[in-house]
Structure 1
Amino acid sequence: MVGVYIGSTAGYSGKNMIAMTLGLRLQKDGYKVGYMKPVGAMPKEIDGKLGDEDAFFVQEILGLSEDVEKVTPVVVNQDFKVKAFKGEHENLMDKIKQSYAELSQDKDVMIVSGSGSMYSGKYCSVDGVRVVKTLGLKSLVIDRYTKELNYDYLLALKETLGDQMIGAILNDIPDHFMDELNNMLVPCLERNGVKILGVIPHDSLMGAIKVADLAERLGGRIIAGSEKADRVVESFLIGTMQVENFMTHFKRHKNSAVIVGGDRSDVQLVALEGKCQCLILTGNLYPNDIIMSRAEVLEVPIVIVRDDTYTVAKKMENILSRHKLRDAIKIQHGAQLVNSVLDYNYIKESIGLS
């Protein structure tokens, strides 16, 4: 039996997507795959047992039904943190080792998923680096592009983990960065021992969210077009500019939500007639009757929120960058993206499966 740890340089980098896709691929290749998320930061209770929400989801996708308390032996909530900071917690690594031993008994390969970054949980000695070393795992590390890549972090991890780090996956890479990545950064990283296992391009669908979920996350209410609340939002525009300038920007951004003050009926009407994905009206101001009527006719959802436009825009930016992988269409699409770029032969050889 072999084990591979899916880690990352930061949270919300795509660990679930890689864990699911790798697990499904290995299952397709005929291997008996197990799954574990030693440390969970999203507590969820099912049938009286506390586990991690992401772990429940990944288990379901992989067709597994192991005891959730073994799959995630350490669940972080506020009580846990208080005890950990006071040094009152038990030896957590022993719990992880025992669970791993039991879950891996009849498996060909164990996929072990991290939580946060490779150093998250260091305050209570259950960080990813320690888990990899303690359980004798191989690891692959995801680095998601956010303004730049964490190349120093990857190089430092390689020094720390040595041969236990088989390589890195670079995720969410925008088109404009591809040349610099391929011509400079990838050669530099590989020259210094960090094998690049795959480069996943930016894809707007992977960060998309349904209007109904968006309204809930923003603390808003859908007041029109609710029958189209399953429509998907991939990006957003702020309607604070003059109508002429807004129209120019709007034509370039399809599948966008438009965030606009509740008193800007001119911009609201342009967005509706252009069939935006949804209107988000700020300041808790209701639209006039004309806007409401057009929204119903054109079947465009209107979401009303209390916050001002700037606050909503910042929340939207955070939501679209951190929205969880849940919808079936996103899982299928994400798997296709990963499968098209990941070097499975190298991974299988590195973890001893070929």
Structure 2
Amino acid sequence: MLPVFLVSNKPFTGKNLIALGLALNLKERGYKVSYMKLIGKFPYRKDNQIIDEEAYFIHSMLESQDPAEYCSPFVWTYQVQYKLFEGEDLKIEEKIFEIINNQKDKDILFIISGDTFFEGYSLGIDSLSIIKKLKTKTLVIQTWEGETSIDDILGIKDLASDNFLGAVLNKVPPEQYFYLKETVVPFLINKGVKVFGVFKKDKFLESVTVRRLLEIVNGGIVCGEDKLDEFVENYLVGAMDPGQALPYFLRVHNKAVITGVHRTDIQILAMETSTKCLILTGGLHADENIVNIAKSKGIPIIVTSLDTFSAVDRIQNIMGKAILKEKDKALKFKEILAKEFDIEGFLKELNL
């Protein structure tokens, strides 16, 4: 069994999605693959066990026959934090290495690091410790945020030393894609970094469901319950004069429109455009006429007692940062990865 460690020095770089996309493609080629997320942060109860919700989704997508705890050996909870600060030996490292040793029948085990290179240091499961102890091949997943992204890749390359495998550039703004391919990638190659893929930022992959928006604003659903699993790619705030609203709404597709519950003029205009849902702030009672129009158009209405600023703040913080738990996203990225990732070069570097 060959462990491949996906690391980053920032959160939300797409490590889990890339691991799943790779695993699905390799499984299709006949390889035995497995997955482990070292530090779970989204507690989910399964068969009287607490595991990470995102990890369990990936475990299910891979149709793994291994116990669910294999994909998520450790999850941060308040109870665990209390035990750590009390000085209790949690034996997390032992558990993780025991699970790894139990998967020797696999060809590849994809291991996902914490959000940063040193996360998990107090537990003995930070990236550097895992690389040293397992001597695992290390793949950096890096979002493109300008030249500092190069620093992260080269810094991790130096720290991983002989265990460094290469890098993936992810969530690249489309207008910078060719610049990276023609300028940044050759620079990295000259520095000894193999770049296995460059992925453009994708609105669908960064979208959230109406259901997730309902949760994040702690709202109530007025109508459109059957549309809760629709994907929302953008959001707009409806706080302008009606005369300015329509051109504004027409420019953005597949959006949620956030506006005050009393702004019925804005709500009507929003529903004339590509709107996935209305989020009405500052009250819990939507106008009856608005509800009837929304029902006829199949547009969900969410009401929340939050003010517009607070609702926008919460939504802004999750767009592009939602955990992976939608099959449609996973299957789409599997197709993208098959085209944009150098799978043959990857397997060659692993001697598989």
CA contact (8 A) 1:85 1:123 kept: no
Deviating above 4 A after TM superposition, structure 1's stretches of 4 or more consecutive aligned residues are 146-149
Which stretch shifts more, 36-45 or 326-335?
Answer: 36-45
- Which residue of the partner structure matches residue 6 of structure 1? 6
CA contact (8 A) 1:7 1:142 kept: yes
- Residue by residue over 1:248-305, the C-alpha shift from the partner in whole angstroms, topping out at 9 and shown as x without a partner, is 2211111111111112121111112225211111112533333222222222211111
Q: SS of 1:254's equivalent? A: coil
Q: SS of 1:116's equivalent? A: coil
- Which residue of the partner structure matches residue 244 of structure 1? 243
For 1:299, the aligned partner's letter is: G
For 1:333 and 1:348, locate their aligned partners in 2 and report how far apart those are by CA, in whole Å.
22
- Which residue of the partner structure matches residue 258 of structure 1? 257
For 1:22, the aligned partner's letter is: L
- Say if 2:94 is the partner of 1:94: yes
When the two chains are superposed, the root-mean-square deviation of aligned CA atoms in Å is: 2.1
For 1:309, the aligned partner's letter is: T
For 2:52 and 2:219, locate their aligned partners in 1 and report how far apart those are by CA, in whole Å.
27
- Which residue of the partner structure matches residue 174 of structure 2? 175
TM-score by length of 1: 0.92
| Structure 1 pair 212–148 and aligned structure 2 pair: CA distance change class (3 A) | farther
Deviation at 1:325, TM superposition (A): 2.1
CA contact (8 A) 1:6 1:15 kept: yes
Q: Unmatched 5+ residue regions in structure 2?
A: none
For 2:195, the aligned partner's letter is: I
CA contact (8 A) 1:2 1:352 kept: no
Deviation at 1:149, TM superposition (A): 5.8
- Residue by residue over 1:91-131, the C-alpha shift from the partner in whole angstroms, topping out at 9 and shown as x without a partner, is 4323322221112x212222222232232111222112211
Which stretch shifts more, 125-134 or 110-119?
Answer: 110-119
Deviation at 1:147, TM superposition (A): 7.5
| Structure 1 pair 183–221 and aligned structure 2 pair: CA distance change class (3 A) | same
CA contact (8 A) 1:50 1:68 kept: no
Q: SS of 1:319's equivalent? A: coil
Task: Please give the residue correspondences for 1:1-354 in structure 2 after superposition, counting only pairs within 5 Å.
Answer: 1-103=1-103, 105-145=104-144, 150-284=149-283, 286-353=285-352
For 1:149 and 1:237, locate their aligned partners in 2 and report how far apart those are by CA, in whole Å.
30
Which stretch shifts more, 298-307 or 74-83?
Answer: 74-83
CA contact (8 A) 1:275 1:300 kept: no
Q: SS of 1:84's equivalent? A: helix
For 1:326 and 1:75, locate their aligned partners in 2 and report how far apart those are by CA, in whole Å.
17
For 1:27 and 1:203, locate their aligned partners in 2 and report how far apart those are by CA, in whole Å.
24
- Residue by residue over 1:301-321, the C-alpha shift from the partner in whole angstroms, topping out at 9 and shown as x without a partner, is 111111111221121122222
Q: Unmatched 5+ residue regions in structure 1?
A: none
For 2:50 and 2:284, locate their aligned partners in 1 and report how far apart those are by CA, in whole Å.
41
CA contact (8 A) 2:54 2:325 kept: no
For 1:125, the aligned partner's letter is: G
Which stretch shifts more, 207-216 or 136-145?
Answer: 207-216
For 2:228 and 2:259, locate their aligned partners in 1 and report how far apart those are by CA, in whole Å.
19
For 1:57, the aligned partner's letter is: F
For 1:130 and 1:220, locate their aligned partners in 2 and report how far apart those are by CA, in whole Å.
43
CA contact (8 A) 2:278 2:300 kept: yes
CA contact (8 A) 1:51 1:75 kept: yes
| Structure 1 pair 6–219 and aligned structure 2 pair: CA distance change class (3 A) | same
| Structure 1 pair 338–127 and aligned structure 2 pair: CA distance change class (3 A) | same
| Structure 1 pair 230–94 and aligned structure 2 pair: CA distance change class (3 A) | closer
Which stretch shifts more, 281-290 or 330-339?
Answer: 281-290
For 2:348 and 2:110, locate their aligned partners in 1 and report how far apart those are by CA, in whole Å.
15
Which stretch shifts more, 250-259 or 137-146?
Answer: 137-146
Q: SS of 2:319's equivalent? A: helix
For 1:255 and 1:4, locate their aligned partners in 2 and report how far apart those are by CA, in whole Å.
37
For 2:97 and 2:298, locate their aligned partners in 1 and report how far apart those are by CA, in whole Å.
54
CA contact (8 A) 1:168 1:195 kept: yes
CA contact (8 A) 1:235 1:256 kept: yes
| Structure 1 pair 37–299 and aligned structure 2 pair: CA distance change class (3 A) | closer
Deviation at 1:160, TM superposition (A): 0.4
| Structure 1 pair 85–22 and aligned structure 2 pair: CA distance change class (3 A) | same
CA contact (8 A) 2:36 2:110 kept: yes
Deviation at 1:44, TM superposition (A): 2.6
For 2:73 and 2:30, locate their aligned partners in 1 and report how far apart those are by CA, in whole Å.
28
For 2:54, the aligned partner's letter is: D
| Structure 1 pair 249–128 and aligned structure 2 pair: CA distance change class (3 A) | same
Deviation at 1:70, TM superposition (A): 4.0
For 2:320 and 2:217, locate their aligned partners in 1 and report how far apart those are by CA, in whole Å.
14
